């Protein structure tokens, strides 16, 4: 194996092991289909070799948000949620679709969060239960406002209940693959953007002098 | 005055006096600019002669919503909010813009509501504090999903704080007029759609036999 | 029959006969599914007794639009399209979904149009061929910008080809009913808003003095 | 300079010189503000040392699009546009806002294009003349549908004419910087994703065996 290649291989392995992807379902019902959707997307990330962590929105006991609050002034549950999300490099958001958009529960959580939890990170969006295409679109706008990279892959699941069996497992393999593809893309590009090689590349990029000779037409 | 005209005049007056427009600011901070925005839109409605009522989201103590709950199974605050909104013919929604969309607090309230509170009613959308154009758009989608008539007038206020004085009053007359126009349009068409004449018109419309001869090209 | 009722009945019939609803499919392929979708919605309008007219976008030979052009400065095909739409009280827009939104052909036509063709009119949106939910949402935003009343009913048809037989007829009755409901709602409220009673109501409304005693809380 | 660092530096320089970013203003009026907006964003890319190329939509003579057409069946102008875009690694789309969305001219061009021109590439969106926030949002949805990476930076310019002097130059330095930041981000991440290091990283990633030990909670 050539040295450069070995170097790259090590870089991939380092990157994988340094990456954690969090799943945040926008539902406070742990057994619901939104949790299933996010858990499935996380499996796609986990298969790539990164660490994954499933967050349970209900357990943070987040109150309604009335504006910007720095850490010193935020409720305990919010502080814990911020802490957990600051530690990860990618986030899978999932949401049911209520009244043509994402859940108020998820948006309430997001209202308490900000650039520190999202900016520059990879974010994947997915949704279950009754459509969710509108909800996912609206989440993309929110992700953008948070300066995250919302990855191109997404999975909007119309009528997810048709694809879940009595034990709460997905019965549709194509749907499972689509959800896992979201997790995989988040994991892959979170790893790439956080790899030693990419970090050096981006630093050198910023530092390099202009190259006016290369300017175009 | 001809009889028919007097009849119509009475219809307008009856309609006005039978109509209540509620304002629901999507903020739990009563003194904030979202309340100011909604209150101003309500003034436009009130000037038309209809009744108006300002709801204070914070006072309903609405918890995060985890799905559809019929009245028998809903928290007390939610029941009160449903009761108050079922009694009105038009609703002015206002929202701050957090992360490129409406507040989680407002969406949480809307998640607890449904067709019974919104279907067929006139809804006006407006927003204050930091842009709100995205937020208003997203609210339109939600209003549509609730089968409401979201009126064409709207007011998205960029950087509303520049237009509020120390006493919390709007200092910009053009902005005030735009907000009042939202309330006026909601009041006017809520009154029209609920007038005796319109109700009879719509009933006769449904009842009338088809007129196949009028079918077009 | 009481006199007022007879009056109202006559008003309904006058309204119907004075109303024309145009269908404008956002596709220049006359035999395509978008035409089928719009034609079906128009049938719903026609069954209500109003006149309907099907416009064929391709036949207007509309060029790409580079900004606002008054009539004196507009291409012949655009003038004809403006003329045809100014004569109607409601419009059914249909669109395929290309790349997650409505067709460039439809938007090009709309770019040449404005308030004179749309403001205050009832507009129904519907779409065929590959989803169209995004496309329909985007059309709602455009309709709002044109100051039209975009009616709450809509029909987004995922994979319409599955529901069309070899002769180009809809084979799904539920879908047919949903499309016709869009046309019916446009026809009904175009008729109501343009009825003699409603016009008088709205005029009196504007003219009436304020009723400060009715102002709310 | 350590060897690895020199290697990385060479990688940055190779990446820069291999990258071309195209600007595609969604207006067929070459002297208009949309061209100015896109040209300014391209300057941000060019300052990074990549090649840039400004495409003039009007010069391709693109007709209205009626569906999917493979190369063998596409008009000459469309073939030229596809050819030009296939050769680049990033694209800056600009659009005026007509009726609350992007121009029909731009969408018509995009309707003729597809994954071959967009998938996996970096895309930046910006808009001039009368708002454009809606237009830019709608463009994001289209970019996503084309499987492009729409970068987080964007620039929506309200009332751009206030910031352009008689010679058609931007007079507002803050606006100029925001537009250039869009171009810079497209250039930077197009270079990163196309760099030899990243390509090797992504290949190794796909090839690497799963690492089940790293799976999360």
Highest average pLDDT, of B159-173, C16-30, C179-193, comes from C179-193
pLDDT (average), residues D42-67: 95
pLDDT score at C189: 95
> Which residue did the predictor score with more confidence, C92 or A15?
C92
On whether any CB of chain D is under 8 Å from the CB of A179, the answer is: no
Q: Does C141 touch chain D (CB under 8 A)?
A: yes
* Structure confidence by residue, pLDDT tens digits, A14-24: 777 889 999 99
Please tell me the predicted confidence (pLDDT) of residue C129.
58
Tell me the residues of chain A between 85 and 114 that have a Cβ less than 8 Å away from chain D.
none
pTM of the entire predicted model: 0.90
List for chain D the helix, strand, coil content (%; round to 5).
55, 15, 30
Neighbours of A (≥3 Cβ pairs closer than 8 A)?
B, C, D
Look at A77-91, A120-134, A162-176, B25-39 and tell me which has the smallest mean pLDDT.
Answer: A120-134
Considering only alpha carbons, which residue of chain B is nearest residue D136? B134
Instruction: Say yes or no to pLDDT of C3 above 70.
Output: no
Q: Which residue has the higher pLDDT, D216 or D134?
A: D134
Q: Is the pLDDT of residue B49 over 80?
A: yes
What pairs with residue D156 in β-bridges?
A: D127
The number of C-beta contacts closer than 8 angstroms across A and B is 111
Residue D29 or C51, more confident: C51
CA distance A85 to chain B (A): 17
B145 touches chain A (CB under 8 A): yes
Q: How far is D133 from chain B (nearest CA, A)?
A: 8
D191 touches chain A (CB under 8 A): yes
- pLDDT at residue D1 is higher than 50: no
Report the mean per-residue pLDDT for chain A: 87
Using CA coordinates, name the residue in chain C closest to B199. C192
- Which carries the bigger pLDDT value, residue B202 or residue C158? B202
pLDDT score for A128: 66
What gap in Å lies between CA A110 and CA A65, rounded to an integer?
9
C130 to chain A, any CB pair closer than 8 A? The answer is no
Give the pLDDT confidence score for residue D208 in this predicted structure: 63
pLDDT, one tens digit per residue, over A51-99 is 999 999 999 999 999 988 999 999 999 999 999 999 999 999 999 989 9
Q: Is A134 near chain C, with CB under 8 Å?
A: yes
How much is the average pLDDT of B101-126?
A: 96
Q: What's the average model confidence in pLDDT over C179-187? A: 96
Give A98 or A211, the one with higher predicted confidence: A98
Residue A133 has pLDDT above 50, yes or no: yes
Candidate from D10-19, D140-149, D206-215 with smallest mean pLDDT: D206-215
Cβ contact D176:D157 at 8 Å: no
Residue B217 has pLDDT above 50, yes or no: no
pLDDT at residue number B52: 97
**How many CB contacts within 8 angstroms connect chain B with chain C?**
146
The chains found to touch B (3+ Cβ pairs under 8 angstroms) are A, C, D
Q: Give the CA diameter of chain B.
A: 65
Please tell me if residue D130 touches chain B, with a CB cutoff of 8 Å: no
What pLDDT is stored for residue D215 in this prediction?
A: 39
Mean pLDDT of C113-124: 96
Residue A13: band (very low, low, confident or very high) from pLDDT cuts 50, 70, 90: confident
Q: Can you list the positions of beta strands (E) in C129-178?
A: 149-156
Q: What is the mean pLDDT of residues B61-77?
A: 94
Query: For C195, which of B7, B201, B208 is closest by C-beta distance?
Result: B201
The 10s digit of each residue's pLDDT in A159-178 is 777 888 888 888 889 999 99
Residue C12 predicted with pLDDT over 80: no
Residues in chain C within 8 Å Cβ distance of B188: 202, 205
Give yes or no for a contact between C47 and C184, defined as CB atoms under 8 angstroms apart.
yes
Whether D144 contacts chain C with CB within 8 A: yes
Residues of chain B contacting residue C150, judged by C-beta atoms under 8 Å apart: 144, 150
For the cut 60, the answer to whether the pLDDT of residue B32 exceeds it is yes
Which residues between 42 and 71 in chain D have a beta carbon less than 8 angstroms from any beta carbon of chain A? 42, 46-54
For C83-88, what is the mean pLDDT? Answer: 97
Bigger pLDDT: B113 or C32? B113
Q: Quick one: which of B50, B11, B53 has its CA closest to B190?
A: B50
Compare CB distances from C205 to B53, B188, B197 and report the shortest one's residue.
Answer: B188
Average pLDDT value over all residues in chain C: 87
Chain B with chain D: Cβ pairs closer than 8 A: 7
For the four alpha carbons of B88, B92, B96 and B99, in that order, the dihedral sign comes to positive
* A29: chain B residues, CB-CB within 8 Å: 66-67
The residue that leads in pLDDT, A109 or B33, is A109
First to last CA, chain A: 42
Contact present, B174 and B121 (Cβ < 8 Å): no
A16 and D CB contact within 8 Å: yes
**How many residues are recorded in chain B?**
217
């Amino acid at each position: 194996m050539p040295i450069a290649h070995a170097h790259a291989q090590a870089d991939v392995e380092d990157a994988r092991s340094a990456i954690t992807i969090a799943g945040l379902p926008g539902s406070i019902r742990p057994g619901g289909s939104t949790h299933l959707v996010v858990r499935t997307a996380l499996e796609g990330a986990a298969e790539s070799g990164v660490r994954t962590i499933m967050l349970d929105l209900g357990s943070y006991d987040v109150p309604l948000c009335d504006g910007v609050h720095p850490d010193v002034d935020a409720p305990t549950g919010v502080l814990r949620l911020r802490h957990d999300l600051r530690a990860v490099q990618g986030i899978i958001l999932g949401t049911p679709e209520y009244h043509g958009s994402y859940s108020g529960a998820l948006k309430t959580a997001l209202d308490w969060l900000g650039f520190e939890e999202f900016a520059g990170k990879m974010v994947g969006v997915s949704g279950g239960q009754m459509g969710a295409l509108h909800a996912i679109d609206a989440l993309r706008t929110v992700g953008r406002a948070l300066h995250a990279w919302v990855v191109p892959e997404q999975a909007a699941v119309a009528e997810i209940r048709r694809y879940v069996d009595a034990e709460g497992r997905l019965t549709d393999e194509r749907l499972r693959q689509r959800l896992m593809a979201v997790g995989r893309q988040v994991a892959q590009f979170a790893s790439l953007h956080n790899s030693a090689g990419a970090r050096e590349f981006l630093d050198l990029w910023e530092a390099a002098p202009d190259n006016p000779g290369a300017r175009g037409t």
